[in-house]
Homo-oligomer: A and B are copies of this chain.
Amino acid sequence: MAILLGDLLLTWTDELFHGSGLPPSALTRGRAVLDIMRTELMAGQYLDLLEQAAGTGGVAGPLRVVTYKTAKYTIERPLHLGAALAGPGAADPALIRGYTGYGLPLGVAFQLRDDLLGIFGDPAETGKPAGDDIREGKRTVLVAVAREKATAQQAAALDRLLGDPSTGAAGVAEFRGLLADTGAQAECETMIDRYVTEALAALESAPVTPQARAALADLAIAATARTD
């Protein structure tokens, strides 16, 4: 029943797009982006399943998942879709490249912030219980960085807590300590800064209006800022 409901909603997204009232020429241009975006999302979800089930433990695997599942789907392709819909002709290739240069690193930074908030965030702020990612054993980039930096003893502790549905407040506190002690937390903060800087540099040279540049710069900060 859940699968059917998902399929039904997936087909209804098409109906919403085509019933949006946009001119047929805009819909045709937008449809090309939408097609690519959906295929990329399915590929990203596939990579995520693969990574969770058979990941080799490195950072490259989770980063690739984040690129397809989050960065492209949440930021890069929606910008390309907007450019395609805005028309009237094909979007400027320099604009498309600019959105990619801005969107991909920003999307990764956004997910890294989400990884950190999922473990260090205040549930009252994030709206999700602290430690869910730990209990689910989610192989995030943050966890992959920690595993790479961990001593054998720290690695054993990470593996013991990760994916254990009984991990409670004490286990979450221990996990936080491990992320801090291994340097993974600081490393991910550094990565966020670097990715946001990269996104803003791409935005700087993208052929957008000053208003669009200011709005997208604000978005980059809002999507990745620490809340503590």
Contacts and interface: CB of A to CB of B under 8 A. Distances in A.
Taking chain A's interface residues, is the majority helix, strand, or loop, or is none over half, making it mixed?
A: helix
Number of copies: 2
A215 interface: no
A11 B9 CA distance: 12
A20 interface: no
Contact of A10 (B1, B7, B15): B7
A146 to B, nearest CB: 28
B46 A11 contact: no
What is the interface residue range for chain A against chain B?
20 to 34
Interface string A1-23: 10110111011101100100000
A228 interface: no
Interface in A1-51: 1, 3-4, 6-8, 10-12, 14-15, 18, 24, 28, 31, 35, 38-39, 42, 45-46, 49
Q: Which 3 A-B pairs have the closest CB atoms?
A: A8-B42, A11-B38, A15-B35
